[in-house]
Amino acid sequence: MKNHKSDTAKAVKIIDGVWWVGVNDHINPLFEGMWALPNGMSYNAYIVRGKEKTALIELSRNGFAEDFIAKVEEVIPLADIDYIIHNHLEPDHSGIIPIIYEKCPQAQVLATAKGKNFLEQFYGEGDRVTAVKDGDALDLGGRTLRFLNYPWLHWPDTMFTYLVEEKVLFPCDAFGGFGALDQGLFADEWDLEAYWPEAKRYLGTIVASYLGHVVKAIDKWIKGGMGINILCPSHGPVYRNNPMSIISRYQEWAKNERGDKVVMIVGSMWGSTHEMGAVVKHRLENNGLEVKYFDAATAEPGQVLGEMLNVGAVVFGAPTYDANIYPRLEYFLMLFRSKKKNGLPVATFTQNSWKVNITPKINVYLEAMKSRIIPPQVVGHGSPDAEVKKELELLADNLTAAMKGAGSVS
């Protein structure tokens, strides 16, 4: 029999004794004040009940306390919660702490030692917290929660919580994605082919600086041999049938192996830099490469970063603007640096009218990332003439050679 769509306006039972009590956000246009939320966002929280005790895992972002409390209270009065477990203290999981703590003064709060520090720093509630160590267990009466340290996924405080008997993993921000749960709580209710790019965009933005930790964490988990029947991330759908569908994708994306794809980010005020970009794009495609071309003025930064996972090379193009890099392009150079895109082949072309060549300013970013700067770094003046076009084609050929590892490019 086909499953009925789960209604996430209410608490949703996952298995006996385990409920989803999260919230859907269709209000905030951005996540982390940076990344677009065209389909909203979910902040997932869960209740686990044993024979004697009840635990609440994670809370919610500020502004959703009423909705959150109503969901919890469909399952149990808030005042009867015995444990509040914080896998991670970022405000999307913990913003409603002041309201919740006040309403359940008897609940014992558990977090990692680093989480305890953050609780003190953000809310002055450090004293209320018992710090748990990697591998510690909590008996709820016939049900055991185990706490496993997974620091840097993506904050230093992060841990996973694992329901041992039923093999349910609550992996916090790992294996999450953008989007409210409008299609239902469970991944098997979703059009997953449409969702994977949103999960990849989330990984490429939220966790991007810590991809190595994702790969290590998955290895550590697999080696630990604990198994997962149900995967309950803090954002995005719950995987009750095939947790490996998201885990294996995260593994592939986070490995970040270089493919045949080039990401081009080009900014322009009046179009000449795009004319240069078109020459480069055309030549790269003729050379058999896949090119994702983004206009720096209008591209959603998260989408660009999502495409930068498994990228083979990056191309930046920009005009001079007030003696500096055209600001909308410089923003992408900043992201390139902050998301640690180390060691990639990178090509550049620029534009100026009164001789302020911005190439050295761009190179400051590239050198910080130990990029392999591909020559020639083309400098144009207005619409590209035949000579500049030839240089741009040479640049594209050199970039192709660098990506394919063929011969000299200097």
The tokens for 22 are 């999260």
H or E stretch at 402 = helix 386-404
Q: Which stretch binds Fe ion (CB under 5 A): 84-92, 217-225, 261-269, 383-391?
A: 84-92
Instruction: Put the strands of the sheet holding 230-231 in their side by side order.
Output: 137-139, 144-149, 159-163, 168-170, 230-231
Residues 261, 403: Cα–Cα separation, whole Å: 9
The tokens for 291 are 């090119």
Binding to Fe ion (CB under 5 A) within 160-189 occurs at: 173
Considering only residues 34, 356, 364, 368, which one is a binding residue for ligand FMN as defined by CB under 6 A? 356
Among 311, 286, 279, 292, smallest CA distance to 378 is for 279
Nearer Cβ to Fe ion (199/333): 199
- Distance of closest approach, residue 251 Cβ to Fe ion, in angstroms: 20
Choose among ligand FMN, Fe ion, none what residue 92 binds, the Cβ cut-off being 5 to 8 Å by kind. Answer: Fe ion
Considering only residues 320, 348, 359, 400, which one is a binding residue for ligand FMN as defined by CB under 6 A? 320
Choose among ligand FMN, Fe ion, none what residue 350 binds, the Cβ cut-off being 5 to 8 Å by kind. Answer: none
The answer to whether residue 25 forms part of the interface with Fe ion (CB under 5 A) is no
The answer to whether residue 3 forms part of the interface with ligand FMN (CB under 6 A) is no
- Distance of closest approach, residue 385 Cβ to ligand FMN, in angstroms: 13
Residues 6+ apart with CB under 8 A from 135: 146, 147, 148
Residues 190, 202: Cα–Cα separation, whole Å: 17
H or E stretch at 122 = helix 113-123
Choose among Fe ion, ligand FMN, none what residue 273 binds, the Cβ cut-off being 5 to 8 Å by kind. Answer: ligand FMN
Considering only residues 92, 275, 307, 393, which one is a binding residue for Fe ion as defined by CB under 5 A? 92
Binding to ligand FMN (CB under 6 A) within 258-317 occurs at: 268-273
Nearer Cβ to ligand FMN (193/354): 354
Going by the DSSP 8-state scheme, the letter that residue 3 receives in this structure is: P
Binding to ligand FMN (CB under 6 A) within 364-403 occurs at: 382
Question: Cis bond leading into 384, ω under 30°?
Answer: no
Considering only residues 79, 353, 364, 385, which one is a binding residue for ligand FMN as defined by CB under 6 A? 353
Please identify which residue in the block is written with the tokens 């469909």. Answer: 74
Among 137, 140, 119, 136, smallest CA distance to 59 is for 119
Burial of 136 (0-12, 13-18, 19+ CB in 10 A): middle
Considering only residues 321, 336, 349, 365, which one is a binding residue for ligand FMN as defined by CB under 6 A? 321
H, E, C per residue of 390-401:
HHHHHHHHHHHH
- Distance of closest approach, residue 321 Cβ to ligand FMN, in angstroms: 5
Choose among Fe ion, ligand FMN, none what residue 269 binds, the Cβ cut-off being 5 to 8 Å by kind. Answer: ligand FMN
- Distance of closest approach, residue 320 Cβ to ligand FMN, in angstroms: 4
Nearer Cβ to Fe ion (25/82): 25
Q: Beta-carbon neighbour count of residue 357 at 10 Å?
A: 13
The answer to whether residue 234 forms part of the interface with ligand FMN (CB under 6 A) is no
Considering only residues 44, 351, 377, 398, which one is a binding residue for ligand FMN as defined by CB under 6 A? 351
Q: Which residues bind ligand FMN (CB under 6 A)?
A: 268-273, 319-323, 351-356, 382
Q: Which residues bind Fe ion (CB under 5 A)?
A: 90, 92, 173
